[in-house]
Amino acid sequence: MIGDDANGFSDLDPFRVGFPLRSAYLGDGEEGDGAPNNGKFGRSSDDHDIMAIIECDTEYDVIEVNDKLKVSSYEAGLSLTWEQVGQKEVDGETTNMFKFRDGVSQPDVYGTYYVTAGATSGPTEKLWKETIAPTDFRAEHFGIPGNNLIWPGEFIFGYRRATGDIKWKPDIGRHDNQSTAEGLIPGVPKWAIDGTYQVFRRLTMKTGRFRTFLNTTGAQLNVSPDYVGALLFGRWANGEPIVRWPGVNTPGNNAPGPAEYALGANPDFRNNFTFIETYGLAPLRAGKVDPFPPPVSDPLGAVCPFASHIRKVNPRDSTTDQGGPAVTDRHRILRRASNFGKDPLPCENPDEEDQEDRGLLFFAYQTDLQDQFEFLQHQWANSVDAPIPGGIDPIIGQNSKLGENRVRKMTVNIFGITKEIVMPQEFVVPTGSGYFFTPSVTSLKDVFTV
Ligand code: HEM
């Protein structure tokens, strides 16, 4: 459909290579459910050209739009190869099927505008939320407290990336003319500007297995199942970062009390932490207060394990195998997700519960598949030693090698004693994947019209 223009992308670009040939690199299993050719979507024999995502407030609207799309696609000579229904909420909450809050941390981006609450028109001139004190150096280079701004070219083609000299000014460097484009990926065709690469992963989640693991491991370590979950993710189920509520000093079940727990639902402050506290917390504007317990500094991974999911995929200010935080900022992704399958109704037999196929429809957006999504999965999540030695990502880490039973191990610190947690089976199994290009609305109208 894109035609010869796609030659603007290198032959080696994973987008052109295609997902089936990249899956082994990502650690997807060579056999069993996780093997790409056993999935429901994106097998090497499949021939999907287009993915359409329909998102509406009501199921009724989705069905209506879907019906219209099917008719017009059919008339245009397209045929439907696969369909998947998703939903945002599990048991009425914005969580994933493990009941952990989703959509908590996203990169904030230079040059993005927001409309002030109550304003009738926008965008305003504000490039960031007005939370950090204007006299502080972070006010210009951070979005919400804790989130330093990332260059838009990391997520949208045609804008400045974080490579080369970092200019500390909110010049987002839009490049309409590729021949003079500074920072534009060489060879990217003009129709790609304002578009982005999309990664799609259908990730089946073994909720029975996960819950059983939290219970048995909690009993073995003499901590609550909630705490084991917080160690695996680096956040409590409500989204509260474990470094802002380490839990270990709490008698009983270690979970934060309701007042402190509200941090997980607070979009202004639930990302207000780093792991090393290199820069400390930014002072806030008059009238703004972060009322929650401050983060602890955790350079040794004693509170938030180095292998925990969020520390694997965004080690923030920690020094990693790649270098300092500026390098980490070049491996960020924008994420969107929906759930699929029925809400889990815990039954006594976890294997029986897991016979129901449910999980996450994971989408990541970035301009460099290899340096961003693939890097996070292959180089960090699947590694025992990177970004910082401490084990494999317990949620998404994968080992495709035959015979090793895909065992996952991670190091945790329980009441000052280092222990190894072993997860004999995976909690998440990829059951369909694909790489797509998401064009801008302009390119959709000008180039991709059939
Ligand atoms: C079923 C599979 C997955 C589950 C259950 C899961 C769950 C979570 C949860 C609970 C969080 C913390 C809340 C939030 O920030 O939204 C999170 C954050 C994140 N996840 Fe996943 N995730 C999954 C797959 C993936 C994959 C495949 C990747 C990429 C390779 C990924 C990358 C991220 C990133 C970048 C963050 C934000 C980290 C931060 O900035 O703090 N996740 N995930």
Q: Mind listing the pLDDT tens digit of every residue in the chain (450 residues)?
A: 454 555 566 778 898 888 989 998 999 877 766 677 777 887 777 778 899 999 999 999 999 999 999 999 999 899 998 999 999 888 888 899 999 999 999 999 887 765 555 656 554 445 566 788 989 888 878 888 999 889 888 898 877 777 643 333 334 555 444 433 344 455 567 777 788 999 999 999 999 999 999 999 999 998 999 999 999 999 999 999 999 988 765 544 566 666 667 888 898 999 999 999 766 789 999 989 999 988 999 999 999 999 999 999 999 999 999 999 989 999 999 999 999 999 998 888 899 999 999 999 999 999 899 999 999 999 999 999 999 999 999 999 997 665 555 678 999 998 889 999 999 888 999 999 999 999 988 888 887 665
Q: How far is residue 46's CA from residue 31's CA, in Å, rounded to a whole number?
A: 18
Tokens of 351: 């294997």
| Most ligand 1 atoms within 8 A of CB, residue of 309, 373, 435 to mutate | 309
Please, are residues 271 and 147 in contact by the beta-carbon 8 Å criterion?
yes
Determine the atom of ligand 1 nearest the C-alpha atom of 105.
Answer: 15
Name the one residue in this structure whose structure tokens are 């229904």: 85
Name the one residue in this structure whose structure tokens are 């309409």: 176
Which residues constitute the domain of residue 39?
1-46+82-108+153-168+185-450
Q: How far is residue 445's CA from residue 275's CA, in Å, rounded to a whole number?
A: 45
Determine the atom of ligand 1 nearest the C-alpha atom of 333.
Answer: 35
143 is a domain residue? no
Centroid of ligand 1 to alpha carbon of 82 (angstroms):
25
179 is a domain residue? no
Q: Which DSSP helix (H) or strand (E) runs through 216?
A: helix 207-221
Q: Which residues pair with 413 in a beta bridge?
A: 418
Nearest CA to ligand 1 atom 17: 310
Centroid of ligand 1 to alpha carbon of 309 (angstroms):
7
Mark 400-417 as b/e (b = at least 16 C-beta within 10 Å).
Answer: beeeeebebbbbbbbeee
Nearest CA to ligand 1 atom 11: 102
113 is a domain residue? no
Determine the atom of ligand 1 nearest the C-alpha atom of 310.
Answer: 38
Report CA-CA distances (Å) from 181 to 5, 12, 385: 18, 22, 37
Please, are residues 127 and 267 in contact by the beta-carbon 8 Å criterion?
no
Q: What is the pLDDT of residue 3?
A: 47
208 is a domain residue? yes
What's the first-to-final CA gap in the chain, in angstroms?
8
Q: What is the pLDDT of residue 120?
A: 62
Centroid of ligand 1 to alpha carbon of 14 (angstroms):
22
CA 351 to chain centre: 27
Centroid of ligand 1 to alpha carbon of 335 (angstroms):
8
367 contacts: CB under 8 Å, gap ≥ 6: 153, 154, 155, 156, 157, 161, 185, 196, 197
28 is a domain residue? yes
Mark 124-150 as b/e (b = at least 16 C-beta within 10 Å).
Answer: eeebbbebbeeeeebbebbbbbbbbbb
Binding pocket residue ranges, ligand 1, CB within 6 Å: 96, 98, 100-105, 201, 203, 205, 233, 235, 239, 309-310, 313-314, 333, 335, 359-360, 362, 373, 376-377, 381, 395-396, 428
76 is a domain residue? no
Other beta carbons within 10 angstroms of residue 113's beta carbon come to 11
Long-range contacts of 401-408 (CB under 8 A, 24+ apart): 401/30, 402/30, 402/31, 406/29, 406/34
Tokens of 164: 């080369």
Q: Number of structural domains, the chain?
A: 1
415 is a domain residue? yes
372 is a domain residue? yes
Alpha helices in 13-151 (DSSP H): 14-17, 19-22, 59-75
Determine the atom of ligand 1 nearest the C-alpha atom of 97.
Answer: 5
